[in-house]
Amino acid sequence: MCEDIYRVRITSRKMSGEAAPGQFLMLKSSPGFDPLLRRPLSFHETYDDSFELLYKVVGRGTLILSGRKCGEHVDSIGPLGKGFRPAGGRPLLVAGGIGIAPLLFLARRLREEGKEPVLVYGARQVSFLVERERFEGLDVTVRLATEDGSTGFAGTCVELLESEMSKSDYGVVYGCGPSAMLAAVSELCERYGVESCQVSIEERMACGVGACLGCSVASSAGGYLSVCKDGPVFKTGEIVF
């Protein structure tokens, strides 16, 4: 697509039928055992007999995956985790960079429910704002932000989000992106009295089912939660950033 960002479509009627927005799968990037660990990737979109994944090459596993050929078999486990939860009021979606990945599936589901979501989408520059045309194709209102000012609002998606929230009332905010961005989104939702703020957390995972405890985050109730089993989507009041 651009700048090391790839979209892949995988045939699996069972997995595509069971997946919910915000859930993920653990994908084996190569046919052998090198690399050993699977990669967690969120469902980007689903169809009757297949689903899409959107990812950025950030290491050896995703680099190998980007070189796989059409028609090859890929080994995966899923759907896993807890996804985005229904909430009342108008939905506002916010994505930073590749955090856009789980939000297309969510946006379609919201439109099917008759809701009118707004997407606030930011990246360093315009070339990293992928898939925005597909949101527009769903009649989703899209607000863009680039840190270099190459298109849309000149600044971060958090700054644009605050501007959007000051103009309209939203019942729920759904977010995905870097943890610092999500912490700022949580603070904004609290300040503006948004009833529900749900964020998809990005963490390194080994097992995907909560057994290894490698993706733990601090719980606001004390102790820890596993991103793979208790998330990856959390209400912001459940975790400590």
Torsion angle of the four alpha carbons 49, 54, 57, 58, in this order, in degrees rounded to the nearest 10:
-120
The residue among 80, 109, 134 that closes a domain is 80
What six digits make up the tokens of 209? Answer: 């089912």
Cα–Cα distance for residue pair 62/16, rounded to 1 Å: 21
Maximum alpha-carbon separation in the chain: 53
Q: Are residues 73 and 105 in the same domain?
A: no
Domain encompassing residue 191: 91-200
Look at residue 220 and tell me if it is in a domain. Answer: no
What six digits make up the tokens of 142? Answer: 């899209």
Q: Are residues 28 and 62 in the same domain?
A: yes
Cα–Cα distance for residue pair 156/146, rounded to 1 Å: 6
Q: Are residues 111 and 69 in the same domain?
A: no
How would you class 134 by CB atoms within 10 Å of its CB: exposed for 0-12, middle for 13-18, buried for 19 or more? middle
Look at residue 234 and tell me if it is in a domain. Answer: no
227 three-class SS:
helix
Look at residue 29 and tell me if it is in a domain. Answer: yes
36 pLDDT band, cuts 50/70/90, is: confident
Q: Does residue 177 register a pLDDT over 90?
A: yes
The residue among 80, 108, 139 that closes a domain is 80
What six digits make up the tokens of 228? Answer: 């793979």
Look at residue 19 and tell me if it is in a domain. Answer: yes
DSSP bridge partners of 216: 226
97 pLDDT band, cuts 50/70/90, is: very high
CATH of the domain at 104: 3.40.50.80
11: alpha, beta or left, given left = phi > 0 and alpha = psi -120 to 50? Answer: beta
236: nearest Cα among 223, 218, 209:
218
Cα–Cα distance for residue pair 152/62, rounded to 1 Å: 30
Q: Are residues 24 and 98 in the same domain?
A: no
Q: Are residues 44 and 99 in the same domain?
A: no
99 three-class SS:
helix
CATH of the domain at 47: 2.40.30.10
Query: What does pLDDT average to over the chain?
Result: 93
Q: Are residues 192 and 98 in the same domain?
A: yes
Predicted local distance difference test score (pLDDT) of residue 16: 95
Look at residue 153 and tell me if it is in a domain. Answer: yes
The verdict on whether omega for the bond into residue 102 sits within 30 degrees of 0, i.e. cis, is no
32 pLDDT band, cuts 50/70/90, is: confident
Whole-model pTM: value is 0.95
